[in-house]
Structures are given as C-alpha cells and as structure tokens.
Chain A
Amino acid sequence: MSQLLESESDAASTSSTGESSRFGKASYSVQDGLEQYSKRLSFLGLESSGDVPPPEDSSSGTEASSGNIKTESAPMRPAPVSTSAVLTHLTPAGDQAIKKFAEKESTLPSKVQIKFQPIGSVPQVLPQSARISASQPFSVLVTFLRKKLKMNSIYCYVNNSFSPAPQQSVGDLWRHFRVNDELIVSYCGGVAFG
C-alpha cells in the first residue's frame, strides 16, 4: 500500500525570458540572439513549442513503506540575456562541456529520504518519512508541510539547528546533514531556534 503525496513546487515562472529581451543590449547580432535563444531553450529542457516537460517520476508506486513526495520538475531559472550571450561564443570543447553538464543535471532524478519531526504541539505529518527528488529546492518541503498541515506559516529546521536558504537543493542538504541516510526536518508553527 503506497502513499502518494501530491505537492506543487514553488515553480518559478520562466516567463521572464520574453520580457528580459527588451533590456538586452545590442552588443550581438540578431542571428546570435536567435541561436542563443534556441540554446537556452534546449539547455532548459524546453522545446520551441513551449511544452513543459512531463514530471519524470514514474517510480512512485514502488515505495511501499514510505511516502513519495511528487513534485513538478525543479524550477528553471534562466540567466540574464547578456550573460547567456557567451553560449554562442564557447569553444567547441566548452560547448560540449556545457551540454554534458546540462545532460548530467537532467538525468539526476535520484531521490533522498526525509524524516519529518514536529516540535511542540504541531501535529505529526503522515507519513513521517518521505522521498523527494534531490534536485528540488528546500522551499518545496516547506510548501508541502504548510499545505499538508493546513498552516499559514511554518518554520523548518535541519537537525534541530538551522533553517537553510530556500534555494538550496534538498540533495545538497541531505549530503551534508543526513543522519542514518535521512535528512531530519523538524517543523514548528513559530520560531523554535532563533
């Protein structure tokens, strides 16, 4: 009997692309601009049709004993236009390198185990342990708890010590602070560790 927990990520809107082009400086040609645009799309995993990539998670039914936090793909955050202009001016080796990097990132759906611990009178979220894609930012966990517990504000801590930056990936936090292969996230309705 598996438990599936649906949640939405704080997915960033990627609509800034069109708007930002208004600010782009005319320091490169139109052709450069088009080429750069298509490169940006391909690195971001978007086809020109504008389709959002489907959620990669297809293994949700296999984890019987613990929850599986299903999320949308981690939010995409494109760089400023004038900065991404370098994409069309990389050396062939540099071009290969960034493609390889983008590919590596997109094939990193590995999941990590999270354990939720309430502090004080807050109810225990069920299931107590869940799995989430390592590439998701920490803010997704906060949003998940807030929705699940129907609370307006929630304070989350790692190892009963600190509250990480919301942009940090859950995977990086897990690598640094895991205890018995679980990232322990405690939560409270008010400030617990100031």
Chain B
Amino acid sequence: MDSVRGRAWAGSLNLRITVYPDLLLSSSSQCKHSINFKVPRETYLVFYFPYILERIATELRNNVTEHYNGWWVEMEGVPLSWNFPVGVLYDSLTGLDPLLRSSKHQSNSINVWELTLRHGAQSPSSIIPIVRGTDQIREFWMHQWKQACFILNGASKQMMSLSKPDTMKFWNSVLRREQNVFDAIREKILPILENARFIPLRVHLALPQIRLLEPQARVQDNNGLTSLGNVLNSEFPEWFSDDPSRPNLAKAIIQGIEVPLQLSLWHLYQELSSFDGFLHVSLCLMTEDASLTSHS
C-alpha cells in the first residue's frame, strides 16, 4: 500500500525548456537555447524558475531582475498555469495515454516534454502573476489545502488549527520533498472515513478546450464507497457509460497512470492525491488511430 503512494511521490518528468528566441542575446542565430532537467511530478513548476533563469542568464538579452514575475512557460503557445502540480499539467495538456507511452518506450529512449520559456510585462490571463515571490506561492498552496480540508471535513478548522511550526514543516516538506514529514502532517488534516464528507476532486480537460471541473463527490452513499466511475459517469455521461456492455470513450489518468474506474475515490485519494490536497484526474480521449496521441 505504501509503495503506491511512495511511487506516486517519486514520479518525475523530463523537461526540455527552450528560451523564446526574442529573449535571447543573439536572436538572429539559428541555434536554439534549451536546457534539460528532471522535475518531480508533485511540484509547482514555478519553483524551478530561479534555477532555469540562473542557467540561461548569460544568454538573455536583458538582465534578470525578477525570478517569478513576468515569466511563464508554454506548450505550443498554450501557457501553463503554474498553480497546478506539473504532473497534472503534463497529463492533461498532452492528453497522455499511458498505454501508448509504454508501447512506444524503448530501452534507449526517454520521454521529454518540450516547453518554451516566455517573458512579458503582462502575463497571460490564465496565469496568476507572482508579485510576492515564494511567500505568495506558499500562501496560495495553503489556501488550496484549506479548500481541500473544507471539502473533506465541512470546515477548514483542521488546517487552520495546525501549529505554526507544523504549518512551516508541512510547506518545507513540499520544498524538500520529504514524504514522511508531509504524510505525518497530512494525517492531522484528513478525517477518518466515518467523518469524511466529500473528496477534493479536480477533473482536468484539454478538449474540447482546457477546463477545470470540481465535481461534488461524496465519499460514500447508501451503496457504500463512491467509485471514480460513479462520479465520472454522472458528470461526463458522454464518455463514461454506466452500462458495462457499452465501452467508455475516455480514460481516467491520475499521476500518469490509467486507474481502474471501479476503485473507490476514498482509496484513490489516500494513495494518489497531490501535494495540494486534491485528487487530480485528467481525461484522455480514446482514438481509433491511437498513434497520434503519443506525441511526447
């Protein structure tokens, strides 16, 4: 059981970030400036902005005066909202189909997610401007947890009554990637099953357009624990059928893996929820010629 959570926490992505040509000192040259690095799935990409900027600073036309404000990354011109775990952004924006990823994988190949670094006086509207550096990121993350806590418990009390040292330890465990510390404090926020009300569930769609949905998902009803399939069927009957003889037209992806729909949300939340307190599900639409979906 622990190994599933441990593996999800350890999941990572390979990124190649190319600097938008206009930002470069020598924009006329043909060579592109890219950096490659690996990030955990369970992090905000914005944590890595100072690192990225440090590595490219000498190539940039202008001096780097801000490490967060005004910077953002894009996939094919689509800006990435930094306020979701980077693994979730990857799964939803690429329409990841894990089956195709593994069928194409070879021992001498790796998956790389290609992104572009941009800068501008005005960020795109889908991006929250960061004007107060890491304090703002921490506060945003705290509020995500308060919201998740409210959904689980019916109030944010458990989160708000964490001691100051515990709150800081909780945040630092995210920055330092200390799962044991993180889980120990998370335990103080999560209710026992009997008291749990709803699951903090977020569904990310890329098609027909990028959308975030937060369905109301009861932990249990008269028939027992609510399954992921129950919720997806009621929210997206177009893709998820309640009739076993009719095939589903989409897959549910959590932490880069396809999850069986009959699993309970409570169980999935324990094992696969993210560091912001939410269980993030990305929907992958199934194709007849599946080869095109594995562009990563």
Residues of A whose CB lies within 8 Å of any CB of B are 10-13, 16-17, 19-25, 27-28, 40, 43-44, 75-87, 89-91, 93-94, 97-98, 100-102, 104-105, 139, 158-159, 161-169, 172-173, 175-177, 191, 193-194
Q: Which of A27, A44, A91, A193 contacts B208 (CB 8 A)?
A: A44
A183 to nearest B CB, angstroms? 13
The interface residues of chain B lying within 8 Å CB-to-CB of A20 are: 76-78
Which residues of the other chain, A, contact B81 by a CB distance below 8 angstroms? 167
- Cα separation A76 to B79 with both chains bound (whole Å): 13
* Chain B residues with CB below 8 A from A13, complex form: 124-125
Contact A97 B214 (CB under 8 A): no
B: which residues have CB within 8 A of A? 75-79, 81, 83, 93-95, 116, 124-126, 128, 139-140, 142-144, 146-147, 150-151, 155-156, 160, 198, 206-216, 236, 238-239, 249-250, 285-290, 292-293, 295
CB distance from A165 to the nearest CB of B (A): 6
Which residues does chain B contribute within 8 Å of A177, judged by CB atoms?
Answer: 150
Closest to A22 in B: B77
Point out the residue from A12, A21, A80, A83 that lies within 8 Å of B126, measured CB to CB: A12
Report if A43-B125 is in contact (Cβ < 8 Å); known contacts: A20-B78, A162-B147, A164-B147. Answer: no
- B238 with A97: CB separation less than 8 A: yes
Q: List the B side residues contacting A102 at CB < 8 Å.
A: 208
Using CB atoms, name the residue of chain B closest to A76: B209
Contact B212–A94 (Cβ < 8 Å) = no
Q: What separation, in Å, do the CA atoms of A50 and B295 have in the docked complex?
A: 29
- With A79-B78, A83-B93: A94-B249 Cβ-Cβ less than 8 Å: yes
Say whether B207 contacts A93, CB under 8 Å: no
Q: CB-CB < 8 A to A22: which residues of B?
A: 77
Residues of A within 8 A of B128 (CB): 166
| Residues from chain B with Cβ under 8 Å of A12 in the complex | 124-126
**Contacts A101-B239, A194-B139 given: A79-B286 contact, CB under 8 Å?**
no
Q: How far is the CA of A79 from the CA of B204 in the complex (A)?
A: 12
